[in-house]
Chain A
């Protein structure tokens, strides 16, 4: 089944403890992206990647890191999480970046 897989689905962590949210797609898509979704603010793009080793900032990149060493994987790294990064996170992929996205099921992160 063609899909975007995120892990974990739920995560509660403490301020300052580094964490990684994994994202993998099995559709050979070139384009991958991370979003956060917050009430009243909608979906906001954090980072995106047009291909392996090519990444760029979205609207809200502060406090996040990404890497794209393989085409299928695009992990999101929070080096020192803070409570304002509590949110629902989505990974998405697209064949080339021009078309619509396939989204993962989401990761609900709580930073206390």
Chain B
């Protein structure tokens, strides 16, 4: 079993919808949680970074971490066609190795 499991998708939503992307993990040592966005033929781009449990908001994006349930989420409000990409969750226990989910591909239709 993988350390990080990500909802596989693909996900297709209409423009303006609220999108929920989710990952679960098994390693209780993970303390640092990240979400990346990857457009086709590009490298991943850091969207959100969270330490430990709680919520973090940045514009239309909200990251949630529930360490007791080993569950993290990324919410996108008022989704736009430009949000169409693959979203990767990533986690780490400390400096050094990051473990990534396999990614969820999102399409936002105009």
Chain A residues in contact with chain B, CB under 8 A?
4, 31, 33, 35, 40-45, 48, 50, 56, 58-59, 90, 92, 96-106
Contacts and interface: CB of A to CB of B under 8 A. Distances in A.
B59 interface: no
Contacts of B44: 43, 90, 101, 103
Contact of A106 (B43, B90, B97): B43
B102 A48 contact: no
B46 A100 contact: yes
B101 A42 contact: yes
B95 interface: yes
B94 A48 contact: no
B42 interface: yes
B-side interface mostly: loop
B98 interface: yes
Contacts of B101: 42
Q: Which residue, A33, A42, A48, A58, has most C-beta atoms of chain B within 10 A?
A: A42
A96 B103 CA distance: 25
Contacts, number: 58
Contact of B42 (A31, A40, A92, A105): A105
B35 to A, nearest CB: 9
Interface of B: 32, 34, 36, 41-46, 49, 88, 90, 92, 94-98, 100-103
Enumerate the 6 nearest inter-chain pairs by beta-carbon distance, A residue then B residue, closest first: A97-B95, A103-B43, A100-B46, A42-B102, A43-B100, A100-B49
B100 A99 contact: no
21 contacts: A31-B95, A41-B102, A42-B88, A43-B44, A43-B88, A44-B100, A48-B97, A50-B96, A56-B96, A97-B94, A98-B95, A99-B32, A100-B34, A100-B90, A101-B46, A102-B46, A103-B36, A105-B42, A105-B43, A106-B42, A106-B43
B40 to A, nearest CB: 11
